[in-house]
Structure 1
Amino acid sequence: MAKVLMITGDFVEDYENMVPYQALLAMGHEVHAVCPDKRAGGTIATSVHDFEGDQTYTEKRGHNFALNADFDAVSASDFDALYIPGGRSPEYLRLNKEVVNLVRDFFDSDKPVASICHGIQLLTASGVVEGRKLTAYPACKPEIDLARGEYVEIAMDDAITDRNLVTAPAWPAHPEMLKQFVALF
């Protein structure tokens, strides 16, 4: 079974954090959920994003999610794969040089990486999407274009794999994204 690192933070999308975390555990994988400046046993606040017929998604306060590892103690060499959930946390996590370097380390080692929705913001900030076909929430397309990735428009319940990277637009894609992600282990 794989040892998976999840980089997460306050106001991560609740479903994109909790569902893959629990699903990977249920499959027998070991998942370490970390957040910079927070310790194991601490919590992060989540948000629930929904598609209710407006021009964009809506946001409501979600749950408190308990972290089970310390960010300062992790290294890409200790893990088999990386999972990056979306929501608002990637927009500020990408400003943390240690997070960016950690993401790059997974790519430098050619380890499996999954990113959903706005999680792509960590990838574009890390400079690892150039020349790759990937997807994200449609509002992130300009960032992918600027980072010289190739944005692929797919259904909200679909995912795409390019080499070691699996991406999906939003939480309805969990079944397909997780299927493609674990196939890389």
Structure 2
Amino acid sequence: MSTKKILLLAGDFTEDYETMVPFQALTMLGYQVDAVCPDKAAGDTVKTAIHDFEGDQTYTEKPGHLFALTADFDSVKVEDYVGLVVPGGRAPEYLRLNERVIEIVQGFAAADKPIAAVCHGAQLLAAAGILQGRECSAYPACGPDVRMAGGTYIDIPADQVHVQGNLVTAPAWPSHPRWLAAFVKVLGARIEL
């Protein structure tokens, strides 16, 4: 039996929790999670940033960890994967400028494969043009990106998740329990305790 593979698109200053927690949780469930970044190979690292909600008008940002990539970006083939994870942080802002990243996201959408995006990950979905007529949650500051891409921004509390078909989205890392559970369900996995 072959291991089911999930692609995780990371980049420098990806949000720490939104990268490490899905990577670890999905690995624990038996998925092979290929974490990739343009112009980097397996074993290279990306810097993460920790975003926190401390009562200011927006999140605060602190240095995170070095996150080791597990696969080569140049070898990504959408057909090899059962799902896609798009963490937030500042990485989606610049990853959306990479044509190959856009093609990958579009490939997952065209194949109707499960896509999980959290927080600023919606910026990448919007840039890929896959939100037209779709519902998408995200960090509130990304609501305009969702709407300008033809989607409906779903404003929910930070610990909630929104699912529409193959698209599993959430506003921020406090949603991890619900967001990851919903993604795993859309992937078709069954967890028995």
TM-score, normalised with respect to structure 1 = 0.99
- Displacement of 1:14 in angstroms is 0.1
Partner of 1:32: 34
**In the TM superposition, what is the alpha-carbon distance from 1:28 to its structure 2 partner?**
1.1
Find the counterpart in structure 1 of residue 119 from structure 2. 117
Structure 2 residue 151 is the aligned partner of structure 1 residue 149: yes
Q: Deviations over 1:9-59 (max 9, x none)?
A: 000000000001000011111100000001100000000000000000000
Does 2:47 match 1:45?
yes
Distance in 2, matches of 1:28 and 1:154, equals 30
Of 152, 158, 179, the residue aligned with 2:181 is: 179
1: CA distance, partners of 2:112 / 2:89 = 25
Give the aligned length: 185
**Cα deviations across residues 109-132 of structure 1 (Å, max 9, x unaligned)?**
000000000001110000000111
| Residue aligning to 2:190 | none
Q: Offset of 1:90 from its aligned partner?
A: 0.2
Structure-1 separation of matches of 2:85 and 2:27: 13
Question: Alignment partner of 1:184: what SS?
Answer: helix
Alignment of 1:4-19 (within 5 A): 4-19=6-21
RMSD (Å) for aligned C-alpha atoms: 0.7
Q: For 1:152 and 1:121, how far apart are their aligned partners in 2?
A: 14
**SS class of match (1:69):** coil
CA distance in structure 1 between the partners assigned to 2:43 and 2:130 by the alignment? 31
CA contact (8 A) 1:38 1:71 kept: yes
Alignment gaps of 5+ in structure 1: none
State the distance in 2 between where 1:46 and 1:124 align.
22
Asked whether the 8 Å contact 1:2–1:81 carries over to 2, the reply is no
One-letter amino acid matched to 1:56 = T
Between the aligned partners of 1:34 and 1:169, the Cα distance in structure 2 is 23
Matched, 1:133 2:142: no
In 1, distance between residues paired with 2:67 and 2:127?
25
Give the equivalent residue in structure 2 for 1:87.
Answer: 89
Q: Give runs of ≥4 in structure 1 deviating > 3 Å.
A: none
Q: Write the deviation string for residues 121-160 of structure 1: whole angstroms up to 9, x where unpaired.
A: 1100000001111100000011111011001111100001
Distance 2:43 2:180 in 1: 26
Deviations 1:65-116 (A, max 9, x none): 0001000001101100000000000000000000000100000000000000
Return the letter of the residue paired with 1:114: A
Unpaired stretches in structure 2, ≥5 consecutive residues: 188-193
* Counterpart residue number, 2:61: 59
Amino acid at match of 1:165: L
Q: In 2, Cα distance between the equivalents of 1:145 and 1:73?
A: 33
Does structure 1 residue 108 correspond to structure 2 residue 89? no
